[in-house]
């Protein structure tokens, strides 16, 4: 399959509307600016189909993107909401697979009274030779982003267009912004088993009704519920994360202990985000040829007055 390259000009000619514009980013990257209502908006980089900013209609930024993030072809952006596929974490391929490094194409965008949408896709034809070689399967990944006043929904569809089955892991690697990490409380994880990457991968059970982040944290919680809540006790804001098709969720914060290992994190940044990352990481998803798999993450802002 071959496609013609979507340039800034052709993207704007074909898809732009009053709530969608494509703009150039440093280097040769392109991002989409999608809006809904007066102040709700998202920025999505075509590289990685990566949401780097999400402002809800109260004008508040809900995602953390590093001020030292790199915007270069083939380099993942630190922060926001990367899509991880077909390998979460380390393995045969480079860390976290290729979907976050590859340039996705725009399929469609709509704008109505109820929401604004953008649909992006990635296929084997969009990969470079090294990536195609590392994962020799025919597939179509489709990401539909839907924006309303206070919600951002990411629906990821994986379609096996190959003649043989394939298996993969995936995740929404969501960097949620907090005013101060010590004000962050996560609920919905009580009594779940988790694998602690920092304690020799031991399987432990979460005993706390509300999980506080007070140290370097890198855990994979198992059999997550349909909703997880992140409350910022300093602002009274809660992000309700509703998911489907996701078995696990990583909770990650490098703390001062480990953030120095990330050259694209400005010192002290660990205080302003926590990653909650729903997906299927423990067990691979098996997809027969011709089959589709769908996973969804909806982020909804709840305000306490």
Task: Output 100 or 105, the one with its CB closest to ligand TA6.
Answer: 100
Identify residues 147-206 at the interface with ligand TA6 (CB under 6 A).
Answer: 197
Provide the pairing of β-strand 50-55 with 83-84: unpaired
| Residue selected from 16, 218, 240, 282 as contacting ligand TA6 according to rule CB under 6 A | 218
Closest CA to 278 of 249, 241, 299: 249
Binding flags for ligand TA6, 91-130, as an x/- string (CB under 6 A): ----xx----------------------------------
Task: Output 150 or 194, the one with its CB closest to ligand TA6.
Answer: 194
273 close to 267: Cβ distance less than 8 angstroms: no
Q: Which two tokens stand for residue 300?
A: 């909804």
d(CA 42, CA 115): 12
| Residue selected from 6, 37, 69, 89 as contacting ligand TA6 according to rule CB under 6 A | 89
Task: Output 82 or 245, the one with its CB closest to ligand TA6.
Answer: 82
Q: What are phi and psi of 113, to 5 degrees?
A: -65, -30
Kindly write down the DSSP assignment for every residue of 123-142, as one continuous string: EGGGS-HHHHHHS---EEEE
266 close to 272: Cβ distance less than 8 angstroms: no
Residue 250 lies near ligand TA6 (rule: CB under 6 A): yes
Task: Output 64 or 150, the one with its CB closest to ligand TA6.
Answer: 64
Residue 252 lies near ligand TA6 (rule: CB under 6 A): yes
Task: Output 153 or 197, the one with its CB closest to ligand TA6.
Answer: 197
- Interface with ligand TA6: number of residues (CB under 6 A): 10
Closest CA to 204 of 216, 188, 215, 220: 220
Q: Interface with ligand TA6 by CB under 6 A: which residues?
A: 76, 89, 95-96, 197, 218, 250, 252, 275, 277
């Amino acid at each position: 399959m071959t496609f013609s390259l979507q340039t800034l000009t052709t993207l704007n000619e074909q898809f732009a509307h009053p709530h969608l514009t494509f703009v150039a980013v440093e280097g040769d990257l392109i991002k989409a600016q999608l809006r809904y209502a007066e102040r709700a908006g998202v920025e999505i980089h075509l590289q990685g189909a990566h949401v780097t900013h999400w402002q809800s209609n109260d004008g508040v930024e809900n995602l953390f993107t590093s001020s030292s993030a790199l915007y270069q072809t083939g380099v993942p952006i630190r922060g926001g909401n990367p899509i991880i596929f077909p390998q979460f974490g380390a393995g045969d391929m480079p860390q976290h697979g290729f979907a976050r490094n590859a340039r996705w194409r725009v399929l469609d965008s709509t704008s109505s009274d109820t929401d604004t949408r953008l649909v992006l896709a990635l296929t084997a034809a969009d990969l470079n030779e090294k990536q195609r070689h590392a994962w020799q399967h025919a597939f179509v990944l489709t990401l539909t982003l839907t924006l309303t006043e206070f919600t951002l929904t990411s629906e990821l569809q994986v379609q096996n267009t190959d003649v043989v089955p394939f298996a993969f892991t995936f995740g929404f690697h969501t960097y949620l912004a907090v005013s101060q990490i010590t004000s962050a409380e996560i609920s919905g994880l009580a009594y779940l088993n988790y694998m602690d990457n920092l304690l020799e991968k031991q399987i432990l059970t979460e005993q706390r009704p509300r999980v506080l982040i007070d140290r370097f944290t890198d855990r994979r919680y198992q059999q997550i519920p349909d909703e997880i809540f992140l409350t910022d006790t300093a602002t009274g804001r809660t992000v309700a994360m509703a998911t489907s098709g996701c078995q696990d969720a990583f909770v990650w914060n490098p703390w001062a202990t480990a953030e120095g290992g990330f050259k694209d994190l400005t010192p002290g940044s660990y205080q302003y985000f926590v990653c909650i990352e729903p997906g299927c990481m423990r067990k691979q998803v098996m997809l027969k040829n011709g089959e589709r798999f769908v996973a969804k993450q909806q982020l909804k802002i709840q305000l306490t007055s």
